[in-house]
Amino acid sequence: PSWPEHGAIKVSNLALRYAPTLPRVIEDVSFEVKPGEKVGVVGRTGAGKSTIISSLFRFVDPDAGYIKIDGIDICSIGLRRLRQSLNIIPQDPTLFTGSIRSNLDMFDEYADLQLFEALRRVNLITPEDYQLLIDSNGKLEQDLENVENPNKFLKLDFEITENGGNLSQGERQLLCLARSLLKSPKILLLDEATASIDYQTDALIQKTIREEFSSTTILTIAHRLKTIIDYDKILVLDKGHVIDYDHPYKL
Ligand code: ATP
Ligand code: MG
């Protein structure tokens, strides 16, 4: 059976340090996330938010305590398997120089229709535009060149320039979300973009998370309160400690 099957996370008395000679930056952190729960991680700069996310991938190994995913200590899982099983949307995703298709589907695993569907589900393609792509038999229109539309995401061959320079930060995050959707991950980690993301794109990202990842366990490092106000729980970190873990309205 594939692991993780449910996406439960249990962090217990975790302590982390970046090197044996450096002080602990996470100390005695415990929290549990149930399958499908959405948890916002907040705290001042340097509080340890990114470090916790890194520790799930074992970029930092526990100095004490443990992390279990679906009851299995992540230190007992092969690194490759662990890292393949978790999905992350970084703050500022880097994309490859290449087409939208190759960025979505590195290993050529999906049909174009599946790629378009993923783009629709993350709202990079509107339902109306999606309809233009489908012929009366529910198949992909043969002659897509004839589809007159300025939306670049209707062209899977659209070339993304170096570091995704011709896409906005929000579009890059949405494209990463589409890539994640194709993999139906049990666990998704999201580092919210800080800078200059426009309100509309931000709202689209949140809408996608609510509607398309309802059964995925999500940890979001959040910089804006409105992002996480409808989350199940908020983990408040301060100087490497958990100072609160509860429903947003109780905080
Ligand atoms: P921000 O909101 O600024 O992203 P954060 O909550 O994500 O902050 P972390 O990046 O997790 O904070 O940092 C927690 C502590 O660990 C800080 O004191 C930081 O200086 C230290 N730290 C982070 N990365 C490293 C590293 N690679 N090597 C050594 N110390 C690090
Ligand atoms: Mg950080």
Q: Are strands 187-191 and 233-238 parallel, antiparallel or unpaired?
A: unpaired
Ligand nearest to the CA of 25: 1
Residue nearest to atom 29 of ligand 1 (CA): 18
Neighbours of 26 (CB within 10 A): 25
For residue 77, is it left (φ>0), alpha (ψ between -120 and 50) or beta?
beta
pLDDT tens, residue order, the chain (251 aa): 689 999 999 999 999 999 999 999 999 999 999 999 999 999 999 999 999 999 999 999 999 999 999 999 999 999 999 999 999 998 888 888 999 999 999 999 999 999 999 999 999 999 998 988 888 888 887 666 666 777 899 999 999 998 788 898 889 989 999 999 999 999 999 988 766 677 788 888 888 988 999 999 999 999 888 888 889 999 999 999 999 999 988 77
Residue nearest to atom 9 of ligand 1 (CA): 48
ipTM of the complex: 0.98
Residue nearest to atom 24 of ligand 1 (CA): 51
**pLDDT of 4:** 95
**pLDDT of 203:** 84
**pLDDT of 145:** 67
Give the whole-angstrom CA distance, residue 193 versus residue 160. 20
Residue 36: C-alpha distances to residues 58, 151, 152, 183, 220 (Å): 22, 32, 32, 16, 13
Length of the chain: 251
**pLDDT of 195:** 61
**pLDDT of 40:** 96
Ligand nearest to the CA of 42: 1
Q: Which of 24, 25, 52, 59 to probe ligand 1 with, by most ligand atoms within 8 A of CB? A: 25
**pLDDT of 201:** 83
Using DSSP, state whether 102 is helix, strand or coil: helix
Residue nearest to atom 17 of ligand 1 (CA): 46
**pTM (2 decimals)?**
0.90
Question: Is any ligand 1 atom within 6 A of the Cβ of residue 51?
Answer: yes
Residue nearest to atom 3 of ligand 1 (CA): 45
Q: Encoding tokens for residue 24?
A: 């602990």
Question: Is any ligand 1 atom within 6 A of the Cβ of residue 21?
Answer: no
Contact 232, 38 (CB under 8 A): yes
Contacts with 4 (C-beta within 8 Å, 6 or more apart), sequence order = 69, 70, 72, 85, 186, 187
Give the whole-angstrom CA distance, residue 81 versus residue 84. 5
Ligand nearest to the CA of 59: 1
Ligand 1 geometric centre to CA of 48 (Å): 6
Residue nearest to atom 15 of ligand 1 (CA): 46
Ligand 2 geometric centre to CA of 52 (Å): 9
Question: Is any ligand 1 atom within 6 A of the Cβ of residue 46?
Answer: yes
**pLDDT of 18:** 97
